Structure formats: C-alpha cells, structure tokens
C-alpha cells in the first residue's frame, strides 16, 4: 500500500470510530488503539504535506486562532419560532393553519434543545462553513471552532445532496458542564452559571483548541436546501442521521394535535431525566409541501410552533440574607427561605449572586419571592410578589464590612463580587485555605477533616498550612471529640504528607487559577518552587497552556511577603517543594499514550502513589472506563459495576502485582 492509500484508509477508519464513539455512543476499539492510529496518521501527514486535508481527523484538536469572526450573510434566513404556552394556544394554531392548507396534517414533535443555534453548510460531502444565527440574516463564521466538536461530521456518508445547509443546536450536557465547573472551582474561579450560556460563549472563543477541550455536542434538527429530494420533516431527521449527524431519537411523527398534546405532557415530566437541558417542544408540520404553502411571517415559520415548558416555580418567604466568605475572600449573598417544595426537593436557600443582583430585584426582608429551578443546581429568585410586601419594608442595604472579620469590603471595577482583603486575619479564609491544602487532590492528609481544621483554627493552634507541621499530640488532645488514637492518626497523617509530590503541594497552596492540571504543568516545567518563584510573567506565559491570567496570578503570589515566608517554612519542615530525585529520574515514557483506570484498595502502594507512578511514566489516569481505556488496575473491593463494564468492553484487568511488574 502506498503512503497515500494508507493515509486515506486511516482517515476513513478514524472517522468511523469517531462516529461510533460520539454520535452512536457505541465505541468499538480501545482508546489506546485509537490514539495509535491517530499518531500514525499524524506522522504520515507530517511527511506528506501534499496530502493535507482540512477535514482530517487529526485536526479535531483545534489550534486555529480567530481574532475577528467574519460576518457572513445566510443563504437561507434563520428564523425564530413562535411560542405557545398552553393546550389552547396549540389548538388555535391548528385552526389557523387548517384554513391555509388542504388535507390532513401530520406533525413531527421534537425536543427543543437549549443551547446556541448553528447552521452548517456541506459541499460535496465535506463540511464547508458553520455560521451562528446572529440576527437571522447574517451570522458569524465559527467554522474552526465547530470543526473541533466531535459529533459534527467533517465528511459525510451515504447518499447526501451535493450542497445543503443543516441546522442544529450546540449544547453542553449537564455532566460535562459540571465537570468543567468542578475544575474551575478547584482553581478558585467562579463557576459558570448555566450550560446554555457556556455553550454559546464557547462558539466565540478565539482559540479553537480551547473549544476542543469542552465537552460540547451538536444536535441536528433541520435540513435546508434547494433540491434535497426529501418530502417530510421526519424523513429529514432520518436522512441526516444516516449521513452521520447526531439526531436525537426522541422525535416522533404524529397524526393529530391530540397526540401532540400527549407528547408534550409526557416530556414535561420526562425531560428531567435527559442528559441535557430542554426548554420545550418544537412541533412542525411534517409534509414539506404543506410547509411551503404555509410559508413564513416576518419573524417565524407558520408551519412550526414551540411549546414552552413552565419552569418549576413556587413562592415563599425570604427570612433573611446571609453572606458567605470563600477561601479567596469573595462574598456571596444567600437568601434563606421558608422551606418549600420545588420539583421534588425541599428548597431552603437560593442564590443571590452579588450586590447588583439584590439591587436589581429590590429584594427585601420579609418579601414573598418567586423561586425557580432552571438549568442550575441552586434555585434562583426570579421576582417578588409585591402585593405581599410588608408595609414597613426597607430596601436591602448590602454589607460594607466582612461578616466574619469586620474589615471593610472592596470591589474592583468590572468585578461583580465584593471581597474581604483581610487575607491573613479573616477566619473563613484562613480555614478555607487550610481545608483546600488538606483536601483529597492536594495533600490528602489522613486523619484530618474540614471540621477539625476549623476546630484547630478556632482554638488558636494553627493559622496557616505551615503551622500544621508544628502540631504535636498534646496540642490536639484537648480538642472536642479527640481521643488518643485519633490524635495519633492526625499527627501521623501530617507527617506522612511530607512525602506528597511537589505538584500536589503546589495545587494545595491555593494560588488563584492554579488548578490540578495547571499545578502539574508548572511543577514539571519549573521543577522547584524556587525556580517558579523567580519566574517573570513572560517566563510563565511561555509555558504551554499557561495564559496571561494564570501567569499574573502566580507572579503576584510570589511577590507577597507572607506567601514567601509560608513557602520557606514549608520547605524547612520537609514538605516537597521540588520534584523528587526519583520523579526527575523516573520520568519515562514507558506508559505514554496509555489511559489507565485505577480502582479499589491496594497493598504495596497507596492509590495516590499508584496514580503518581502512572503519570511519572507518561501514562494518563482516567476516572471512568470506556472503550478507549488501555487497562484497569484492580485492587481489592473494586465496585462490581466497574468490573462488569471492563469485561463488557474487553478491557484487560491487571492486579496490583501484574501492574508493578511492568517497572
């Protein structure tokens, strides 16, 4: 086989595997084999620049940077949809359209996906251009970003038309959204508010490799084109699916408005079990000939109607507003409510976000408020029932002092949050930082929990993480519920944390924007806290994956005297603030490209040590089993479902011994 033939074959194969994995949710090869094939293709492509193909599977990782998105006029306008909110609205719509077309009308009912609309043009079976909706007549060219979304086919299969547009919604499933937020929170950043805004914000990121990292999906719902030869909306969906697009299977073709109502009623409840947000149902006249007869109003098609679900909402009384102080000093106001049931759970608290939000709502103590549960986990206050406002109520005055340490609060221009800047003297900040330091992904100190940290701080025994290393058994014994055995465990756990590798200590320091991954990158690159603390902003920025925000944050952290003192005390107590000799010597590529799941309890080596060993040898530790997993290292007491899944996908299972023999 010539190199050219091999390249073509590899592209074909990888495309099929992408399709199986991202569109059909049914992978058929291991992650390792996939990566090997991808690597092989990358090498061949590098040797043969003449075989360049903008739609090659190797280009999924992005990399193209767009400074200004080009505005492009839509070949076919992107209309909005008329909304309905009740059965009567739908019956009225049916009466209206029955006057305009002959014959019986069938309907296709679809879920209304809540994300950002996109229109993608395909020419001769390859992705040509992707545009945002914009104002409906013209949108922005976001092709480079859309190409990184794995469920969007770059090349089509089957009997597709030469030239057509397909429309869909870019969404972020709840699971991926929550994973993204977990990372942000662990890096000390504000979590994203909801999946929809995050999805639509993603389309406008300048660096497409950033988009590639986000677990976005594209769900398709309509084909637009001159001569597609398709006769109905339902066929549209089936065709699109056969060409390789992700088209949800929930859509249904029905004979009457009564059946439409049944569909609506069913999904009003069942939507809560979907992996992504839906805000309604879209009902479309099925026959494309009838659609053409009905045509469009100035704003929307006459042949389609959205039915909007009512968000689950209740009213209840606001008892008081409390203010929480985070580990970074950020203040978050919280509404404490008279407990009330909402969509199956009891709600006692709602988020108020910040001072602006309180002012905008003009929410006051004693008010009866409307609480709603949307895409967010914490319910929101949507408005106030003014008819129930107590007579003497006064506007809420936002606090000007920290509720915990009474220092004045500050707010930087452009930031929504107030901050308490008394970093060294504010108890929740002190406690929060230590809790972060001992947390599982940082120093993971056994025998020490978040509550004990608070007890230790409140008893005046510690005020920073270095103080932990000065504690002895007699210090901690007088604490509430502290027996001899638990005191010993605690001190032993602190001692043992001196073996935790540099990158996790660095993460534990809680430098703003330095999450787990960034800490790893920095540790690998600078190798010691000394080198890191000397780095200039431009040195930091020159490191792969480190942007200006992180660079500035790290730089300023090490220009603060208190931080310098803290770090040098940690060094003097023997905490790992540089890569260990073994880590430096052991950095091998023995496991490079392998994705390994670790599960259960181990004997010769702790779970965290095992993970560190994998990473030091170039492997990747992944948390859940998929077809792309290379193998599973199983300790005792591994969950039966994990084993079952591994067996199902034929992922090799290694014992602790078998794994360690590799080294």
Catalog residues that contact Zn ion under the rule CB under 5 A: 402, 404-405, 420, 422, 426
- From the CB of 401, what's the least distance to Zn ion, in Å? 8
Three-state SS string across 249-293, please? Answer: CCCEEECCHHHHHHHHHHHHHHHHHCCCCEEEEEEEECEHHHHHH
Q: Which is nearer to ligand AMP, 117 or 452 (CB)?
A: 117
Q: Which is nearer to ligand AMP, 113 or 526 (CB)?
A: 113
CA 597 to CA 619: how far, in whole Å?
A: 11
- The one of ligand AMP, Zn ion, none whose footprint includes residue 169, by CB under 5 to 8 A per kind, is ligand AMP
**Are 44 and 13 a contacting pair, CB within 8 Å?**
no
- From the CB of 302, what's the least distance to ligand AMP, in Å? 14
**CA atoms within 13 A of residue 41's CA, in its CB half-sphere:** 24
Q: Which is nearer to ligand AMP, 32 or 221 (CB)?
A: 221
CA 447 to CA 430: how far, in whole Å?
A: 20
> Residue 478: CB partners within 8 Å, gap ≥ 6?
459
DSSP annotation string for 305-368: EEEEPPPEEEEEEEEEEEEEE-TT-BEEEEEEEEEEEETTEEEEEEE--SHHHHHHHT--TT-E
Q: Choosing from 112, 147, 246, 642, which is the catalytic residue? A: 112
- From the CB of 407, what's the least distance to Zn ion, in Å? 5
**Are 305 and 413 a contacting pair, CB within 8 Å?**
no
Q: Which is nearer to ligand AMP, 81 or 361 (CB)?
A: 81
**Strand pairing report for 653-655 and 631-634:** parallel
Q: Which is nearer to ligand AMP, 132 or 497 (CB)?
A: 132
3-class DSSP assignment, residue 51: helix
- The one of ligand AMP, Zn ion, none whose footprint includes residue 117, by CB under 5 to 8 A per kind, is ligand AMP
Considering only CA atoms, which of 633, 635, 661, 637 is closest in space to residue 646?
633
N-terminal to C-terminal alpha carbon distance within the chain: 37
- The one of Zn ion, ligand AMP, none whose footprint includes residue 659, by CB under 5 to 8 A per kind, is none
- From the CB of 116, what's the least distance to ligand AMP, in Å? 7
- Work out the number of other CB atoms within 10 angstroms of the CB of residue 578: 19
Q: Which is nearer to Zn ion, 402 or 532 (CB)?
A: 402
* Residue whose Cβ sits closest to ligand AMP: 117
- From the CB of 325, what's the least distance to Zn ion, in Å? 6
- The one of ligand AMP, Zn ion, none whose footprint includes residue 405, by CB under 5 to 8 A per kind, is Zn ion
- From the CB of 522, what's the least distance to ligand AMP, in Å? 40
In the complex, the residues that contact ligand AMP under the rule CB under 6 A are 80-81, 110, 112-113, 117, 133, 169, 221, 282, 306
112 is catalytic: yes
Considering only CA atoms, which of 108, 111, 118, 121 is closest in space to residue 233?
108
- From the CB of 83, what's the least distance to ligand AMP, in Å? 6
Considering only CA atoms, which of 377, 441, 439, 436 is closest in space to residue 623?
441
Question: Using alpha carbons only, how large is the chain's radius of gyration in Å?
Answer: 29
- The one of Zn ion, ligand AMP, none whose footprint includes residue 237, by CB under 5 to 8 A per kind, is none
Q: Which is nearer to ligand AMP, 108 or 148 (CB)?
A: 108
Q: Is the dihedral of CA 575, 577, 582, 583 positive or negative?
A: positive
- Work out the number of other CB atoms within 10 angstroms of the CB of residue 397: 8
Catalytic residues: 112
């Amino acid at each position: 086989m010539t190199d050219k033939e091999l390249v073509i074959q590899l592209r074909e194969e990888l495309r099929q595997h992408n399709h199986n994995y991202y569109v059909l949710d049914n992978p058929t090869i291991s992650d390792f084999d996939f990566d090997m094939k991808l690597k092989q293709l990358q090498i061949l492509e590098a040797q043969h620049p003449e075989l360049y193909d903008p739609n090659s599977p190797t280009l999924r990782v992005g990399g193209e940077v767009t400074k200004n998105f080009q505005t492009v006029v839509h070949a076919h306008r992107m209309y909005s949809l008329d909304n309905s909110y009740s059965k009567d609205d739908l019956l009225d719509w049916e009466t209206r359209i029955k006057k305009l077309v002959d014959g019986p009308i069938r309907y296709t009912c679809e879920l209304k996906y809540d994300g950002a609309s996109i229109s993608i043009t395909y020419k001769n079976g390859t992705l040509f251009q992707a545009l945002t909706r914009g104002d409906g007549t013209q949108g922005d060219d976001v092709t480079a970003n859309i190409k990184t979304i794995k469920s969007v086919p770059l090349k089509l299969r089957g009997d597709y038309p030469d030239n057509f547009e397909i429309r869909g919604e870019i969404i972020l499933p709840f699971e991926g959204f929550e994973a993204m937020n977990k990372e942000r929170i662990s890096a000390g950043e504000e979590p994203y508010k909801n999946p929809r805004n995050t999805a639509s914000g993603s389309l406008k990121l300048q660096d497409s490799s950033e988009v590639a990292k986000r677990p976005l999906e594209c769900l398709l719902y309509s084909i637009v084109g001159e001569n597609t030869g398709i006769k109905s909306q339902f066929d549209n969906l089936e065709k699109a699916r056969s060409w390789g697009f992700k088209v949800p299977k929930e859509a249904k073709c029905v004979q009457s408005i009564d059946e439409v109502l049944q569909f609506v009623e069913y999904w009003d409840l069942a939507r809560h079990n979907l992996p992504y947000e839906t805000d309604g149902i879209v009902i479309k006249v099925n026959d494309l000939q009838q659609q053409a007869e009905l045509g469009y109003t100035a704003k929307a098609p006459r042949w389609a109607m959205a039915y909007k679900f009512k968000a689950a909402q209740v009213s209840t009384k606001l008892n008081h507003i409390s203010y929480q102080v985070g580990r970074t000093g950020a203040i978050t106001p919280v509404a404490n409510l008279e407990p009330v049931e909402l969509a199956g759970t009891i709600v006692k608290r709602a988020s108020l976000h910040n001072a602006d939000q309180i002012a905008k709502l003009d929410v006051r103590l004693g008010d009866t408020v409307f609480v709603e549960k949307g895409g967010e986990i914490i319910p929101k206050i949507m408005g106030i029932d003014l008819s129930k406002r107590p007579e003497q109520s006064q506007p809420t005055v936002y606090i000007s002092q920290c509720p915990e340490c009474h220092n004045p609060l500050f707010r930087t221009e452009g930031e929504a949050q107030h901050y308490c800047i008394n970093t060294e003297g504010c108890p929740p900040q002190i406690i929060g930082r230590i809790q972060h330091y001992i947390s599982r992904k940082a120093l993971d100190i056994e025998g020490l929990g978040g509550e004990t940290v608070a007890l230790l701080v409140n008893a005046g025994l510690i005020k920073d993480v270095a103080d932990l290393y000065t504690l002895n058994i007699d210090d901690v014994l007088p604490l509430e519920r502290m027996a001899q055995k638990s005191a010993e465990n605690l001190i032993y756990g602190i001692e043992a944390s001196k073996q935790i590798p540099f990158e996790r200590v660095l993460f534990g320091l809680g430098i703003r924007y330095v999450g787990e991954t960034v800490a790893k990158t920095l540790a690998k690159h600078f190798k010691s806290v000394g080198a890191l603390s000397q780095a200039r902003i431009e040195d930091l920025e020159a490191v792969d994956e480190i942007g200006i925000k992180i660079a500035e944050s790290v730089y300023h952290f090490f220009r603060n005297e208190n931080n310098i003192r803290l770090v040098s005390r940690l060094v003097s107590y023997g905490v790992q603030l540089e890569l260990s000799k073994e880590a430096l010597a052991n950095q091998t590529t023995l496991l490079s490209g392998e994705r390994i799941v670790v599960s259960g309890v181990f004997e010769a080596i702790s779970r965290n040590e095992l993970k560190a060993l994998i990473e030091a040898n170039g492997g990747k530790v992944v948390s859940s089993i998929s077809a792309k997993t290379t193998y599973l290292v199983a300790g005792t007491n591994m969950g039966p479902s994990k084993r079952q899944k591994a067996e199902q996908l034929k992922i090799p299972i290694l014992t602790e011994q078998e794994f360690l023999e590799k080294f």
